[in-house]
Amino acid sequence: MACSLRAVITCGIILAVLDVIHGLATTGFYGYRFIVESFYLCPLDLPIDKCHNKNYVYEQMFETRVYIGIGEGIVGVLFSLFYVMALVKRKPSLTWLWLLKSFAIIAINIFYLSSWLIRQESYDYIKWEKAEYEDEFVFTAQALTLAQIVIMVIYCLIGGVFTYKVCEERTASRRSLNHKRKWDSNNATAPPLDNYDEEEALYLNKALTNSEKTLPVRASRNSLSELSRADTFKHSTGV
């Protein structure tokens, strides 16, 4: 593939930023609905009986969704930040965990959309006026679901390319390391002496200092020790 791994990571980070905006929009909408419906659900001119009915319908159909929506947006932002960290650390297995959040959000929105559409006519036996926020809930859920599906499709494309690039880079790194080991083994020097003792060192030093440039005859260990002591005595008594 022509694109580099850095370019793929950049595209993934941009996608994560869009998903953060999606999470903030989710939290903002449901947080706004929580504040409005908690303090301004019933206008002052609304009769008390209709106000009670309105509160009842809201509690049955929308209140739980508001709480879930606030948590949904916060969790979405956390998953997006986790996704960015996985991209920077180049961990493909961790980036795919983002799909869990995406599937969960789509499933929640589809469940509540179908529930609202089915249960709209379930409260005809009570007197209440249909509020504008009901359509807002439906339209917002549709928009957030569609946006999440688009983000998920783009994410799968980026995730596939990212996984391929990381595996390709790791394979090239392993090949380079194996080639280096083979090169070092071909150019290796002779192994060190295992039984390298003091007497052997004296013999090699004497060979190096020999003026005739010839190796001396290797003597036995006893004679070599005597030669060493004699040579030491000679140097110590010389003028």
- Say yes or no: 145 and 233 in one domain: no
The answer to whether residue 218 scores a pLDDT higher than 60 is: no
Residue 234: other Cβ atoms inside 10 A = 9
- Say yes or no: 218 and 117 in one domain: no
Write down the mean pLDDT value for the chain.
77
Q: Give domain status of residue 192, yes or no.
A: no
E strand or H helix that includes residue 96:
none
- Say yes or no: 155 and 226 in one domain: no
- Give the pLDDT mean for 47-64: 79
- Say yes or no: 139 and 51 in one domain: yes
Q: Whole-angstrom Cα distance, residue 83 to residue 13?
A: 8
- Say yes or no: 232 and 168 in one domain: no
The answer to whether residue 236 scores a pLDDT higher than 50 is: no
- Say yes or no: 114 and 39 in one domain: yes
Residue 225 confidence (pLDDT): 52
Q: With beta carbons less than 8 A apart as the criterion, state whether 216 and 206 touch.
A: yes
- Say yes or no: 103 and 133 in one domain: yes
**Which structural domain range is residue 209 located in?**
198-237
- Give the pLDDT mean for 171-188: 59
Residue 204 confidence (pLDDT): 59
Q: What pTM did the predictor assign?
A: 0.66
At 126-172, the pLDDT tens digits run: 666 666 778 889 899 999 999 999 999 999 999 888 888 888 877 76
Proportion of the chain in helix, strand, coil states, percent, rounded to 5: 80, 0, 20
Q: Give domain status of residue 84, yes or no.
A: yes
- Say yes or no: 72 and 10 in one domain: yes
- Select the more confidently predicted residue: 49 or 155: 155
The structural domain count of the chain equals 2
- Percentage of the chain modeled with pLDDT above 70: 64
